[in-house]
Amino acid sequence: MSRKLWEDVDAYFESVLIGDDPALDAARKAAAAAGLPDIAVAPNQGKLLNLMARMIGARRILEVGTLGGYSAIWLARALPEGGELVTLEYNPKHAEVARANVANAGLADKVTVITGAAIDTLPRLKGPFDFSFIDADKQSNPDYFRMCLKLSRKGSVIVVDNVVREGRVLDTKGGDANVEGIRRLYEIMAAEPRVSATALQTVGVKGHDGLAVALVVAD
């Protein structure tokens, strides 16, 4: 199967199920114009995050890794009146682009972008969060997962992006900190009695990658 076919199918899903979305299109354009890397979630993935947050009635959402705010807009749109999204970003330029994109999407009142290394900013947050999306530096996934779990409650959901990386997740040779971060994440998820977790491979405009999903089953 070819990457071109995966991309065509994603384009079809976007056109048939999502359609034009001025705020999201503008956010992608602004991020590209500012020189940010083109690594935001795909439109159908963004909508999946939005639907998952709505399925559990999330009122407080935590994101680790904001980039230009594309996934943040999808997630913040899932929130009811009075809900909030806290999103953590290391790069001040990314955070600035994200704040502008979020404001342009009419979501400034619901979204707080906190600048700094997530390992430093996560401990300052007050839980519980109903939904967490981990999508920053992959070698720190184990730390982010543990900290997000600490900020969760029974019934919370934690989603982690980029957990397959073209199959590099199978690489047991070591030496790639990102792969080791992903493999360690699975070990922690499997050993942690407070969560029940699974993972899915995905293909599409993001290549061959995947998402891990954990449900917090006990406080």
Q: Which residues bind ligand DHB (CB under 6 A)?
A: 39, 135, 161-162, 206
Nearer to ligand SAH, 136 or 205 (CB): 136
88 binds ligand SAH (CB under 6 A): yes
Closest approach of ligand SAH to the CB of residue 37, in Å:
7
DSSP tally for the chain: helices H, then strands E: 8, 7
Q: How far is CA 113 from CA 78, 117, 118, 161, 191, in A?
A: 17, 12, 11, 19, 32
Closest approach of ligand DHB to the CB of residue 170, in Å:
18
Nearest-10 Cα torsion for 107, 112, 115, 120: -150
Tell me the C-alpha distance between 211 and 157, whole Å: 13
Closest approach of ligand SAH to the CB of residue 193, in Å:
28
Binding mask 112-151 toward ligand SAH (x if CB under 6 A, else -) reads -----xx----------------xxx--------------
Q: How many residues bind ligand SAH (CB under 6 A)?
A: 18
- Using CB under 6 A, pick the residue from 44, 71, 152, 156 that binds ligand SAH: 71
Q: Which residues pair with 196 in a beta bridge?
A: 215
List contacts with Mg ion (CB under 5 A).
135, 161-162
Strands (E), the chain: 60-64, 84-89, 111-115, 131-134, 157-161, 195-204, 207-216
94 binds ligand SAH (CB under 6 A): yes
Nearer to ligand SAH, 22 or 82 (CB): 22
> In which residue are the tokens 């992903």 written?
182
Which token pair is 191?
A: 């050993």
Task: Residue 94: name its binding partner from Mg ion, ligand SAH, ligand DHB, none (Cβ under 5 to 8 Å by kind).
Answer: ligand SAH
Strands ordered across the beta sheet of 60-64? 111-115, 84-89, 60-64, 131-134, 157-161, 207-216, 195-204
21 binds ligand SAH (CB under 6 A): no
Closest approach of ligand SAH to the CB of residue 154, in Å:
26
Closest approach of ligand SAH to the CB of residue 219, in Å:
27
211 burial via Cβ count (<10 Å: 0-12, 13-18, 19+): buried
DSSP secondary structure code for residue 56 in this structure: T
Contact footprint for ligand SAH (CB under 6 A): 39-41, 65-67, 70-71, 88-91, 94, 117-118, 135-137
